Amino acid sequence: MIRFAIAGAVCLSLAACSTGNQQATPCSNAASAQTAKACGGMSALVARARAEGRLDVIGLPREWANYGALIDGFHARYGISVVSADPTAGSQQELDTAKRMGRSGDAPDVFDLRTEVAAANPDRFAPYEVATWDQVYINQKDPTGRWTQDYGGYMSIGYDSSKVPAITSMQDLLNPAFPAKVALKGEPSKSDAGLYAVMMANLAQTGPLGDVSNGVDYFHSLRLAGKLNFSLATLATVKNGTTPVVFDWDFEASQYLRINPAWRTFIPTYPTLGYYFAQAINKDAPHPASARLWEEYLYSSEGQQLLMDGGASPVLIRLLRPAPTDLTMPNLDAPPMLMSTSQMADARTYLAAHWIAAIS
């Protein structure tokens, strides 16, 4: 994946700038504090979190989005032990576990969730706004601070530059150089990657997020032109050259690059279609100060950089001042287009009824 350089020592959050040597009276109201200031400031929050001495997380594989480095970095900076339970748990499993454990001392303190799951369960979370909360686009957070998107990715087109020409637009795929080479990662009515691929095509055809039909028409055109490859893309098909062009998330490009150094990624900018995961604090967090400090760390320059190092697109990527690269990058000065839960459901309904006919 693309790597970026930070210009200067920019602190996006006081959490990242703390020296760790400050003496402060621990925050006495961490469980109800909605900002670090309301807790007496960052020094007081850090002092209380250190007194708790522990953070319980769930559903965080160490290899996913660089969470291993984030957990280690948090522990190294603050000396707080991180207990990671059930790393492979899905979003609903995280919430179900927390509900089952109630106020147990081993219950999850924080959640990493699919946004639609977070949006559907706001009463499960404690409102909290990190120091950089105002820098997060309004469409990427709950207005009351109960959840905030943190990292995600952009729908993109990956391709083997040793086998096909550089891709600079969706229309390129209709050119003679792409016979039976264009593949999807999953079936659109069932797979998020497939659904978002069709929606990306829809936006390119000036279709709205609420109506995916133009995207289906685009893939119908690819089918008629003989460009579609009916094999669903996997690492194996990319490695053996069966699927030299793949609609997939940009954060998956790091996997493809490991097996094919010629792999490149094109991200449309008209507009960029994104998907983000959300962070939230358990309203019954057994370690409420550590939970809040963890959020501050994730949205700090250090936390956001570590997410980017893991191939994800952090929500504050534009503040990290990415260096120019030779790969097409999305417009970082505008928020990405994000599908709502209802728009995803409507798109799946339409695809279930029309997709097979369009590509047959």
Report all structural domains of the chain as residue ranges with CATH numbers, in order of start: 14-151+276-320 (3.40.190.10), 153-273+328-359 (3.40.190.10)
Contacts of residue 242, defined as CB under 8 A and 6 or more positions apart, other chains included, come to: 229, 231
pLDDT: which is higher, 252 or 88: 88
Q: According to the model, what pLDDT value does residue 26 have? A: 82
pLDDT given for residue 61 in this prediction: 95
- What pLDDT does residue 13 have? 52
Residue 110: beta bridge partners? 281
> How high is the pLDDT of residue 10?
43
pLDDT value of position 124: 98
Tally of CB atoms within 10 A around 66:
21
Lowest-confidence range among 108-117, 166-175, 270-279, 280-289?
270-279
* Mean pLDDT, range 224-235, rounded to an integer: 96
pLDDT of residue 255: 85
- 316-354: per-residue pLDDT in tens? 987 775 544 434 445 556 678 899 888 999 999 999 999
Asked whether residue 245 carries a pLDDT value surpassing 80, the answer given is: yes
The pLDDT assigned to 167 comes to 96
pLDDT at 269: 80
pLDDT recorded at residue 217: 97
| Average pLDDT of span 165-184 | 96
> Whole-prediction pTM value?
0.83
* pLDDT (mean) for 35-58: 97
CA–CA separation, 183 vs 205, rounded Å? 19
Contact predicate 272/249, CB 8 Å: no
Whole-number pLDDT of residue 317: 85
Q: Which amino acid is at 11?
A: C
Q: What mean pLDDT do residues 140-156 have?
A: 95
In the prediction, which pLDDT does 9 show? Answer: 38
The pLDDT confidence band at residue 251, using thresholds 50, 70 and 90, is confident
Mean pLDDT, rounded, of the chain: 89
Geometric angle at alpha carbon 169, from 167 and 174, rounded to 5°? 80
Per-residue model confidence (pLDDT) at position 341: 84
pLDDT in the model for residue 91: 96
Q: CA–CA separation, 191 vs 355, rounded Å? A: 13
Q: Check pLDDT > 50 for residue 98.
A: yes
Question: How far is C-alpha 57 from the chain's CA centre?
Answer: 17
Residue 276 reports pLDDT greater than 70: yes
pLDDT at 311: 84
- Identify the pLDDT of residue 41: 97
pLDDT tier, 8 (very low <50, low <70, confident <90, very high otherwise): very low
Contacts of 67 (CB under 8 A, 6+ apart): 60, 61, 310
CA-based torsion, 341, 274, 270, 235: positive or negative = negative
Looking at residue 266, its pLDDT comes to 93
Q: Are 270 and 223 in contact (CB under 8 A)?
A: no
